[in-house]
Amino acid sequence: MKILDNPSKGTWKKQLARPVFKTKQINKIVKPILRKVKRNGDKALYKFAQEYDHVELDSLFVSDLEKANAAAAISSELKEAIHTAKANIERFHRAQFTPEIVEEVIPGVICRRKSVAIQHVGLYIPGGTAPLFSTVLMLGIPAVLAGCKEIVLCSPPNKEGEIHPAILYTASLIGITKIIKSGGAQAIAALTFGTESVPKVDKIFGPGNQFVTAAKQIATKYGVAIDMPAGPSEVLVYADSTATPAFVAADLLSQAEHGVDSQVILVTDTKKFAKKVLKEIESQLSELARKDIAEKALENSRAVIMENRDEALELINYYSPEHLIISVEHEDKAVEAIVNAGSVFIGNFTPESAGDYASGTNHTLPTYGYARNYSGVSLDSFVKKITYQKISPEGLKQLGPTIEIMAENELLDAHKNAVSIRLEYLKTSKK
């Protein structure tokens, strides 16, 4: 993990560069996959399951028996943890409901806005090096609360043709019944175009590797929305001498173990504190089951010494991290200065993993600097805001002349006439 000592602003872009996506090479692989699924449907999915998952499937659907076996396969301790997380996530996301707005802007002109669920959504749940059953909670709960008519979950099977039991148990717990054994770009293709078994959806959610990310971005060209552009996981920890080095190291490693292309950043005010954290990282790293992955990620990572607090905060906003942990003196002032972050974790005793699993916030967040212009997944991600207006005859008499003048000056005669013909009718109908 390289140390940067008070880097000048002009060097930030280069010094803090995230691992580069080889977009052209990835698209060369992904685009043919999408074409084959579009053309051959289920047949292509079965073939890709053999090629990439090394399994010959009898069915793309998870059966009721498989769901029952999954429930029996996981411990009561894990079930209890999932139920606790579910309750917290439901509570926080239910609080995000916005009431319908009704406003009479002038007498006789009534405007409304209400939330309407996106009807058909697809949830992608990774199941490779880490089976992310927690993501089922993060995506499935707001989808169910929003009232989405159809929820389709895709996750890759293992060599025995099975999806991880914790994924199946969690999906069943929150009421998702349509579960498809398909992963990677081919699953995104199936959700984009539809196949004999997989329904076409309106919006696709969920994290994944670079191939999944590329497939999701291509899907947008076919009229399917996605949650956000998402890349490898990342965290930035802003800490000073009031923080505990062991805690900071653990938080950095918790993201480094996600994947070799993850990136973690420490921003602190002294080299002495940075070295304490690096020593802790070295100590804790040796105990990790995913040590090799974390070590590779740390090669992409940086410890940044920023003695000036304002410059440190400017650097953090420039980087726009997916996860931001703030553990400094006068934390409130630091928090208020943050305008670019996916989710913020405040204080010595708020590990990033709390948001990943059970605090109640959502862990599907913008990465790769997209926190500058994207929000993380929330209840709002699963609804559309539809506006309505109703104008009475008296309201049109008041508002009509304004519309006529504006339309006339934009040289849109038919727009003007749509009002004028009604106003004329109201004049003559009184006679």
b or e along 138-170 (b: 16 or more beta carbons within 10 Å of the residue's beta carbon)?
A: bbbbbbbbbebeebbbbbbbeeebbbbbbbbbb
Residues belonging to the active site: 322-323
Cα–Cα distances (Å) from 23 to 29, 61, 186, 331, in that order, read 10, 32, 17, 39
Neighbours of 12 (CB within 10 A): 16
In sequence order, which residues have a C-beta less than 8 Å from that of residue 401 and are 6 or more positions away?
A: none
The residues facing 385 across adjacent strands are 115
> Does residue 342 contact residue 371 with C-beta atoms inside 8 Å?
yes
b or e along 58-82 (b: 16 or more beta carbons within 10 Å of the residue's beta carbon)?
A: eebebeeebbeebeeebeeeeeeeb
Annotated binding site: 124, 186, 209, 233, 255, 258, 323, 356, 410, 415
> Does residue 364 contact residue 204 with C-beta atoms inside 8 Å?
no
Q: Which tokens is 351 given?
A: 């590990």
In sequence order, which residues have a C-beta less than 8 Å from that of residue 65 and are 6 or more positions away?
A: none
Task: With CA atoms as reference, report the closest residue to 319 among 369, 265, 264, 375.
Answer: 369
Task: With CA atoms as reference, report the closest residue to 338 among 255, 418, 236.
Answer: 236
Distance CA 373, CA 352 (A): 21
Distance CA 294, CA 303 (A): 15
Question: Which phi and psi angles does 124 have, rounded to 5°?
Answer: -100, 125
Annotated binding site for Zn(2+): 255, 258, 356, 415
Annotated binding site for substrate: 233, 255, 258, 323, 356, 410, 415
